[in-house]
Structure formats: structure tokens, C-alpha cells
């Protein structure tokens, strides 16, 4: 640790910096708490969504199996379904952390395969996989947001701890040391002036 030169200028600068560091510590603590609240909301959403997505995928795969049983392997028919490219990503900011927002407009179901070569079981499988896709998009957004929030919480906690446990105590120590040195100089100067006055 560098020794600070004990001058009044340095004392004033340190006191100013200490005030800023204390404000920074309070702000980091607030930021951390807001990010944690946001994370808890997401975790609740994830918890609710995971059960739904699991049962939706089970139904979708069961429906696909039923379609395969009644129609034979439906891979060729499925190729007629166009690739969906309706997803756009934007961001929303929470305390300076950019969280992804996936904007998705589900298109109206348009049958792009021949009705003669399919049946209602294939249609149902198609619909179930669309439901699964919608839930997957939502889960991807939440998972990505949760990851970014966890990262931001960890960094904020680190900065908060550094201010609280290292930066502020070091500044307080330096302020105390400079104050003591300056007071000692003032006492010495006072005694010196007294001695000079007495000698005169």
C-alpha cells in the first residue's frame, strides 16, 4: 500500500473520495438488491414454466408417435412445413444490465402439407410442437436473463465487498494517519512558537 503524503490537500481529497466511496457502497448494495428481486421473479417464472414445458413436449412426442403409427414415418411430410423466422430480439435494461426480450408473433396456422397424405393425428402433433416452440422461446428468454442477472449480481457483490472491506477502511486509515500527523505538526509548531516567544 502506498504511503500517502500527510498534507492538508491530501486530507481534503481523501475525505471527498471517502464520501464518494460510501455513496458507491450504498448504491452497489441497492443495485444488488434490485437485481436479486428481479432474479427471484424470474426463478418463480422458470419454476412454473418447466413443468408446463415438460408436459407439452411429452404430449407433442406422443402425438408424433401416434402420427407415425397411423401414417408411417412422417419426416417427408414434415419437410413441407416452412421454417419459422418470426423471432426478433430486443433488450430491456435493469440497473444497467441488458436483459433479452424475444418478440415473437405466432403466425396463423397455415397448412402447408397435403391433407390427403395426413390425418388429424398429424395436425394435432403439428399444433403441439407449435405450443412447445412457444414455451421454448419463453424459457430461452428467461434462462438468458437469469444467467445475465446472476453474473451482474456476482460482479456487483464483488464491487460492494471491495468498497466495504478494502477501499473504505484504507481511506479511513489514511485519513486518521494524516490527521494525527498534522495535529502532531501543529503541536510542535505551537511549542516552537511558544519557545521563540519566551526567548524573545
The CATH number assigned to the domain holding 165 equals 1.10.287.3240
- Kindly indicate the confidence band of residue 110, based on its pLDDT and cuts at 50, 70 and 90: low
DSSP state at residue 97: E
Return the C-alpha cell found at 174.
489514511
Per-residue pLDDT, averaged over 7-16, amounts to 92
Between 55 and 105, whose confidence is greater?
Answer: 55
Q: Is 13 left (phi over 0), alpha (psi -120 to 50) or beta?
A: alpha
88 within some domain: yes
Q: Would residue 200 count as lying in a domain?
A: no
Identify the pLDDT of residue 33.
Answer: 95
| Residue 186 within a domain | yes
Question: Checking DSSP bridges between strand 87-94 and strand 97-104, what pairing results, if any?
Answer: antiparallel
Residue that the C-alpha cell 471517502 belongs to = 18
Model confidence at 4: pLDDT above 90 = no
- From CA 152, how far away is CA 147, in angstroms rounded? 9
In a domain, 2, yes or no: no
Any domain includes 43: yes
> What is the pLDDT, as a whole number, of residue 2?
63
Query: Nearest-CA neighbor of 98 among 143, 139, 145, 138?
Result: 145
pTM of the model: 0.73
In residues, how long is the chain? 200
pLDDT of residue 79: 73
Span 59-101, pLDDT tens digits: 999 988 888 888 777 777 767 676 777 788 999 999 999 999 9
Q: Taking the CA atoms of 189, 193, 194 and 198 in sequence, report the sign of the dihedral they define.
A: positive
In a domain? residue 180: yes
Domain count, the chain: 1
pLDDT at 113 over 70: no
Tell me the pLDDT tens digit for each residue of 120-177.
888 888 889 889 988 999 999 999 999 999 999 999 999 999 999 999 999 999 999 9
Q: Is residue 1 part of a domain?
A: no
Predicted local distance difference test score (pLDDT) of residue 19: 95
141 class by beta-carbon count within 10 Å (0-12 exposed, 13-18 middle, 19+ buried): buried
DSSP state of 2: P
For residues 181-187, average pLDDT? 90
Q: What domain range includes position 136?
A: 8-195
Q: Is the pLDDT of residue 1 over 80?
A: no
Amino acid at each position: 500500500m502506498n504511503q500517502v503524503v500527510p498534507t492538508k490537500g491530501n486530507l481534503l481529497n481523501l475525505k471527498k473520495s471517502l464520501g464518494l466511496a460510501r455513496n458507491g457502497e450504498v448504491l452497489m448494495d441497492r443495485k444488488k438488491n434490485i437485481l436479486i428481486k428481479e432474479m427471484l421473479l424470474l426463478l418463480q417464472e422458470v419454476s412454473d414454466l418447466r413443468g408446463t414445458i415438460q408436459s407439452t413436449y411429452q404430449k407433442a412426442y406422443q402425438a408424433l408417435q401416434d402420427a407415425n403409427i397411423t401414417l408411417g414415418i412422417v419426416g417427408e411430410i414434415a419437410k413441407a412445413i416452412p421454417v419459422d423466422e418470426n423471432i426478433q430480439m430486443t433488450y430491456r435494461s435493469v440497473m444497467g444490465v441488458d436483459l433479452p426480450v424475444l418478440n415473437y408473433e405466432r403466425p396463423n396456422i397455415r397448412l402447408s402439407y397435403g391433407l390427403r397424405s395426413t390425418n388429424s393425428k398429424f395436425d394435432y402433433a403439428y399444433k403441439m410442437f407449435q405450443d412447445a416452440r412457444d414455451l421454448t422461446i419463453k424459457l430461452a428468454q428467461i434462462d438468458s436473463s437469469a444467467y445475465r442477472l446472476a453474473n451482474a449480481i456476482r460482479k456487483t457483490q464483488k464491487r460492494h465487498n471491495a468498497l466495504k472491506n478494502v477501499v473504505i477502511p484504507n481511506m479511513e486509515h489514511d485519513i486518521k494517519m494524516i490527521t494525527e500527523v498534522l495535529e502532531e505538526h501543529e503541536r510542535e509548531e505551537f511549542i516552537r512558537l511558544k519557545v521563540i516567544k519566551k526567548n524573545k
